[in-house]
Amino acid sequence: MSETEAPFRPREKLLERQRFFQNIHKHTYLKGPLDKVTSVAIPLGLALTCGTLIARGIYNMSHGIGKKE
């Protein structure tokens, strides 16, 4: 009982889509304006926030601010 199933898509359609995506020469991960927000602005904001908190913590530690006596 070894029946072969029909593929989900015809092979010709798959090859056509593969050729289309392989011929795109610009980066595929920064296409729309929303992609730039999610992959550039959010990580940049997170890095800046972390850097600010670290700098503030070092400043407070070196000046003895918030120290319990």
The pLDDT tens digits of the residues spanning 46-65 come to 999 999 999 999 999 999 99
The pLDDT tens digits of the residues spanning 22-31 come to 887 766 666 6
Mean per-residue pLDDT, 37-50:
91
Non-local CB neighbours of 30 within 8 Å, separated by 6+ positions: 36, 39, 40
Question: Three-state DSSP class for 14?
Answer: helix
Question: In this model, does residue 1 exceed pLDDT 60?
Answer: no
